[in-house]
Amino acid sequence: MEFLKELNENQQKAVKYTDGASLVIAGAGSGKTRVLTYKIAYLLKMGMAPGSILALTFTNKAAKEMKERIAQMVGANIARYLWMGTFHAIFSRILRSEAEHIGFTKSFSIYDSADSKSLIKSIVKEMKLDDKVYKHGFVQSRISYAKNNLITPDSYLANTDLLKADTASRIPLLKDIYKIYCNRCKQADAMDFDDLLLQTNVLFRNHPAILQKYQQIFGYILVDEYQDTNFAQYLIVKKLAEKHEKICVVGDDAQSIYSFRGANIDNILQFKNTYHNAQIFKLEQNYRSTQTIVNAANSLIDKNLQQIKKTVFSEKETGKPIKVLSVFTDFEEGFVIANNITDLRYSSNYRCQDIAILYRTNSQSRVMEEALRKQSIPYRIYGGLSFYQRKEIKDVIAYCRLICNQNDEESLKRIINYPARGIGDTTVNKLIECAQLHAVSAWEVLNDMLKYNLAVNAGTANKLAQFRSMIDVFAQQVPTQNAYDLANSIVKTTGVISDTFTDHSPENLSKQDNVQELLKAVHEFCEAKQKEGETITILPDYLAEISLLTDQDTDKETDKDKITLMTVHAAKGLEFKAVFIVGMEEELFPSPFCITERELEEERRLFYVAITRAEERCFISYSKSRFRNGKTNFSNPSRFIEDIDKEFLELPVENKPNGKQSSIGDWDDDMEVERNRFNNASFSKPVFKEQIIQSSPRHLVKVQGVSEERNPIENKAYPVGSFVKHAIFGIGKIIETSQVSGNDKADIDFGEKGIKSLLLKFAKLEVLT
């Protein structure tokens, strides 16, 4: 047990306690993953069989990393038998082997959220309801909420509170949509993400013998990120652990940020009430961040009332204060951040992969992206469209899914007329209506159009029959064909990507690349399975694997050394030497949709998560105006900045070039922060784009001393003396134009608002005269 020496005292205690239930409260950066991995290694060394350990995580990435670390410690041959994966992955595996007990088949499809949205849309349409009232997004979240709380359609009907709430929200028929939605899923032999948890509960509730079987199998259960479990997950874990209470959950209530998805922070707060003899271990030493960052984060989270008290501390160096950057516009924000990044790269020798830009909403990525691109800083955006959500990929996968499960209605709808084969919307609607009328799947109708009286003309019937037999031919090959060969012939024969061969546009070429990429992935999957001793890997096995994958799981080698751009949510569990948290403004962070104290506390935790991602440097920026939804909106600094003790912050300082007074306007009154305009933030390190691209880091440091002297330069577009209009300051008169580091700049007298030095590329001035 040499490896135990690598743990501190509390970590060791948490690892070694295996007598009963235990809760490990793990502060940010306190070695949570380390405790989990070492604990599993410890259990294995104590003689526990790997096949009786169940370890649940929230992301595939976390599971994969943990598995790799354990493999290093105890050997891959042992590690591969661990039940380790996400809740969804593990229980979809169990559901597949027990599917017939709950009315599904082994090859059930998994509907992703786009599929379920599309199904909801068609149900609302078929019920002739107003889709402006029954908005698909809202209906979807309502159904998801019900499932996460284990409310089946029948118990929904019996729940007066829910019914009342729906009537009050003018959506009384939600109960019916929910019921039909579930029926349709079952008819399609499909489960959505929430079903994977709900149906597991149904399985365990209705079949005690099966529950008992898994209670026997899982001799020890570990759960990561327990603060983010919802009721469905909580109950699965509770039932499985009931017998022996050999369970260890790890989490941090201060990092609970998924309540809007049904996560219930009470699961961790009330752990002791669920498991009466639970031991609690607190990990409070942060090994990730400087003292300043840890203390700043502590002072922030201290403002939350609801929390398990703990004292996270760091013994690393004090470190630099968190730098607060104040800018005028979101464009300038991007520019300033890019400059700061350049600075870090070349004067502190940070690599791109050490740096992350975090934001509250995905839409903020655009300006950042633009700024980075302009300065040729390599970056990678996480979130947005993932590989598996791309149209061409979804199309190919829809073929694969339909071929493996002909009842899969969403896949059928997607490709029955793609590529176009003369089966229009009218026909598809008739087909589905007919199927509903006879309570069978659409495929069933296709199989016997006469029997079900499908009212289409002979030509259409012929086209439908052709489509059916094409799918049939593939379907017959499923049990005997290797997944890669079958996928390959699907792509070649169905013409699913024939659209992309019409021209050589970059979009089309990229689509072809993506499909090749997918096929390559299938190939690799088959080879990996073969190495594990499988004789043949069939297509359904591959589908089962990828339906639960996300973009984050597909890291490419070429993406290694790049700046990371992602939402704060996506950054949870990650760490970077330097972190930029941008858009720290009211109406953005906290989100205007969070009103109640409980919701605000979650937003504060989100900010806490953001800060604690940083190891050495943390920057926070806010802009006084932001371009959103086609309009420029004014904004104030986020209240959360004030929640951090000032001693840990480096607030923007006023800088007065040439002794000119530059008044701030009204924004900063509450913060006593003054603007350090373009000088400090933007130009302390003049940016020479070309040189940055070509030269080595050391070269660049030399150029940094270049003069910042301003030389008045006549600017023809903005003649001295002319009047201009600015989005924030209103009308002003140009006093002087100049160039600084190759950027056009103007000094403008805005009367009452004072004299401002503005960069023309940001100011967006309108010339009036």
Partner DNA sequence: TCTAGCCGAGTTTTT
Partner DNA sequence: CTCGGCTAGA
Burial of 304 (0-12, 13-18, 19+ CB in 10 A): middle
Local structure of residue 387 (DSSP, 8 states): G
Question: Which one of 33, 307, 361, 704 is the catalytic residue?
Answer: 33
In residues, how long is the chain? 769
Give dist(CA 755, CA 261) in Å, integer. Answer: 49
**Phi then psi for 627, rounded to 5 degrees?**
-85, 110
Q: Are strands 743-749 and 730-740 parallel, antiparallel or unpaired?
A: antiparallel
Q: In this complex, which beta carbon is closest to DNA, that of residue 171 or of residue 649?
A: 171
User: Is 481 assigned a catalytic role?
Assistant: no
Q: In this complex, which beta carbon is closest to DNA, that of residue 43 or of residue 84?
A: 84
Give dist(CA 762, CA 683) in Å, integer. Answer: 14
The answer to whether 552 contacts DNA (rule: CB under 7 A) is yes
Give dist(CA 181, CA 254) in Å, integer. Answer: 36
Q: Are strands 279-283 and 631-634 parallel, antiparallel or unpaired?
A: unpaired
> Could you say which of 444, 553, 586, 749 contacts DNA (CB under 7 A)?
553
Q: In this complex, which beta carbon is closest to DNA, that of residue 4 or of residue 428?
A: 428
User: Is 224 assigned a catalytic role?
Assistant: yes
Q: Are strands 285-286 and 313-314 parallel, antiparallel or unpaired?
A: parallel
Could you tell me the smallest distance in angstroms from the CB atom of residue 186 to DNA? 19
User: Is 135 assigned a catalytic role?
Assistant: no
User: Is 32 assigned a catalytic role?
Assistant: yes
The answer to whether 287 contacts DNA (rule: CB under 7 A) is no
Q: Which amino acid is at 349?
A: N
Q: In this complex, which beta carbon is closest to DNA, that of residue 413 or of residue 745?
A: 413
665: left (phi over 0), alpha (psi -120 to 50) or beta: left
> Could you say which of 167, 169, 212, 363 contacts DNA (CB under 7 A)?
363
What is the sign of the dihedral through the CA atoms of 630, 631, 632 and 637?
Answer: negative
> Could you say which of 10, 11, 35, 58 contacts DNA (CB under 7 A)?
58
Choices 283-291, 528-536, 543-551, 699-707 (CB under 7 A): range interacting with DNA = 543-551
Question: Which one of 194, 195, 225, 736 is the catalytic residue?
Answer: 225
Choices 168-176, 211-219, 403-411, 591-599 (CB under 7 A): range interacting with DNA = 591-599
The answer to whether 88 contacts DNA (rule: CB under 7 A) is yes
- x/- mask, DNA, residues 123-152, rule CB under 7 A, reads --x-----xx--------------------
737: left (phi over 0), alpha (psi -120 to 50) or beta: beta
Could you tell me the smallest distance in angstroms from the CB atom of residue 33 to DNA? 13
Choices 85-93, 614-622, 674-682, 758-766 (CB under 7 A): range interacting with DNA = 85-93
Q: Are strands 22-26 and 247-251 parallel, antiparallel or unpaired?
A: parallel
Question: Which one of 224, 354, 410, 736 is the catalytic residue?
Answer: 224
> Could you say which of 361, 477, 663, 695 contacts DNA (CB under 7 A)?
361
The answer to whether 594 contacts DNA (rule: CB under 7 A) is yes
Give the CA count within 13 Å in the CB-facing half-sphere of 125.
Answer: 9
- x/- mask, DNA, residues 416-455, rule CB under 7 A, reads -x--x-xxxxxx----------------------------
> Could you say which of 572, 675, 726, 756 contacts DNA (CB under 7 A)?
572
DSSP alpha helices (H): ranges in 478-505?
Answer: 483-494
Q: Which amino acid is at 608?
A: Y
The answer to whether 261 contacts DNA (rule: CB under 7 A) is yes
Sites for DNA among residues 200-259 (CB under 7 A) = 225, 228, 258
Could you tell me the smallest distance in angstroms from the CB atom of residue 41 to DNA? 23
**Paired residues of 740 in beta bridges:** 743
Give 192-258 as a 3 state SS string.
EHHHHHHHHHHHHHHCHHHHHHHHHHCCEEEECCHHHCCHHHHHHHHHHHCCCCCEEEEECHHHCCC
* Cα R_g (the chain), whole angstroms: 29
Residue (of 384, 337, 329) closest to 361 by Cα position = 384
The answer to whether 260 contacts DNA (rule: CB under 7 A) is yes
Q: Which amino acid is at 654?
A: E
The two tokens of residue 428 are 């598809």
The answer to whether 597 contacts DNA (rule: CB under 7 A) is no
The answer to whether 630 contacts DNA (rule: CB under 7 A) is yes
Annotated catalytic residues are 32-33, 224-225, 255, 613
- Chain residues binding DNA by CB under 7 A are 58-61, 86, 88-89, 113, 121, 125, 131-132, 193-194, 225, 228, 258, 260-261, 263, 360-363, 383, 417, 420, 422-427, 548-550, 552-553, 566-567, 569-570, 572, 591, 593-594, 629-630
